[in-house]
Homo-oligomer: A and B are copies of this chain.
Amino acid sequence: MADFPKYEYKYRVYYEHTDAGGVVYHSRYLNFFERARTDWLRDNGMVQSQMQKELNMIYVVTAADIQFKKPARMDDALTVSSQLVKIKRASMDIYQEMHNQDNQLLATVMIKAACLQADNFRVVALPQKLREDLMK
């Protein structure tokens, strides 16, 4: 996974993310992973709300394979990375990792995402410009 650049963003854990087990609720790791993909796309010129409004395109997760290694906890400062693994005409595979402030690996995920028409959920090609920008 050395070919594509790795993007990293930092997010804080608040009470809303935790559960009565005292740590971050398992599904919310996906929320942090999705934020990091959103910010990565934004930094490559793709603002999803504009894409939906102007191009009738949305970008959806079709599969996620998550490994939970250690719990994220209230007040943690998380670093979430995103790295393209494969990009095709209408889909991408993205590998992501989450570390805490002590550089412990908390979770990894392999995401498969597809580009769809927002009004009918049919597969549509990613804009060529975005594909090129993401592969730089």
Contact = CB atoms under 8 A, between A and B. Distances in A.
Contact of A34 (B15, B61, B67): B15
Contact of A48 (B28, B60, B74, B118): B74
A122 B19 CA distance: 18
A26 B65 contact: no
Interface residues of A, number: 42
A47 to B, nearest CB: 6
A63 interface: yes
A30 interface: yes
A49 interface: yes
A68 B61 contact: yes
A48 B61 contact: no
Contacts of A45: none
Contacts of A104: none
Given A12-B35, A26-B61, A30-B30, 17 more contacts: A16-B25, A16-B27, A18-B20, A19-B19, A20-B20, A20-B22, A20-B23, A21-B60, A26-B34, A27-B31, A47-B75, A49-B74, A60-B68, A62-B67, A63-B67, A64-B66, A65-B65
Interface of A: 12, 14-16, 18-23, 25-28, 30-31, 34-35, 38-39, 42, 47-50, 52, 58, 60-68, 71, 73-75, 118, 121
